[in-house]
Amino acid sequence: MRVAVEDDQSKPEEAATAVTKLINQNHVVAMLGEVSSSRSLAAAPICQANNVPMISPSSTNPRVTQVGDYIFRVCFTDPFQAEVGARIAWEILKVKKVAILSDVRNDYSVGLQTFFRQHFKGFGGEIVAEQSYSEGDSDFRAQLTQIKSANPEAIYVPGYYTEVATIARQARELGISVPLIGGDGWDSPRLWEIGGEALNGCYFSNHYSVDDPSPAVQKFVSDYKKRYNQTPDALAALGYDAARILSDAMKRAGTTRGDKVRDALLGTKDFQGVTGTITINKERNAVKPAVVLKIENGKFNYMTTVKPTGT
């Protein structure tokens, strides 16, 4: 039996080529990956056309699983993550006026800001300013100056850690002291290395926390450290859950035949994963919680767990 594991080091078109080779030449029966949404969107149609189940550990864009009935994910989706961001602002920070600074060229960032706006306004909040940048930018002072003039009580920055860290530093240099709020794109040790103390008091949503007191989480963290001599990040935890869910589905299916494994994956319910209790719904998305982390002196401190509405 061959299962392919795809990584995040290639461009979307390169990912598509690699997946085609894995299916046609290596005859894999399932695919773990891709990691990013853009690469998953390139790889998914190939898996779908060949009836090869694909499970993305971390592609949060809603469109990924809409490709077809062989495409799954074990992470939450951007609409839920954006709701968590809105709850951070409304329920934890208890602010009513928020500005948004998003990456206009990134589907992940654009999607999050769209859903965040809907949820925050639904709670009764007000979006007082909206500014954008493009991935790779290094000077955000013009956008931040405009935001500062609107007097927000917090700023939602749904980008990746590279730009977010610089945004935090430049915001503080301009005298903006309000908290920044973001999503799982912030999750990297490099965030603090680049942004430093400018990030203190900021919050972001993520898939799990190494400080979560859950016995399952603590055992995973301990075992991972013993084996790899480093602390597992969210991608490590998600990859672990994806592999375990696929293995469980294959055992229940009693075969590696694509359609049978697909049906077994659809039957996944209340699976006890490291990143939460996971149920796969009819849209092949994971119904699961998110955690809220607060940045304090270089640590991502666990604050609370937010469950999807109705669970």
Instruction: Give me the DSSP letters along 110-144.
Output: HHHHHHHHHHHHHHT-EEEEEEEE-TT----HHHH
Question: Which residue type is seen at 102?
Answer: S
CB burial string 184-195: b at 16+ within 10 A, e below: bbbbbeebbebb
Q: What is the pLDDT of residue 36?
A: 84
- For the chain, 311 residues long, the average pLDDT of each consecutive 10-residue run is 53 86 95 88 96 95 95 96 97 98 89 95 98 95 98 97 97 98 93 97 96 91 96 94 98 97 98 95 96 96 88 56
Give me the amino acid identity at 177.
S
Architecture of 3-76+234-289 per CATH? 3-Layer(aba) Sandwich (3.40)
CATH annotation of 78-206: 3.40.50.2300
pLDDT value of position 106: 82
Distance CA 198, CA 176 (A): 10
* Alpha helix positions (H), the chain: 12-24, 37-49, 78-87, 107-123, 141-149, 161-173, 189-195, 215-228, 234-253, 258-266
Q: Read off the pTM.
A: 0.86
Task: Quickly tell me which residue has 């490709």 as its tokens.
Answer: 67
Q: Where in the chain is the domain with CATH 3.40.50.2300?
A: 3-76+234-289, 78-206
Closest CA to 291 of 274, 306, 273: 306
The pLDDT of residue 99: 98
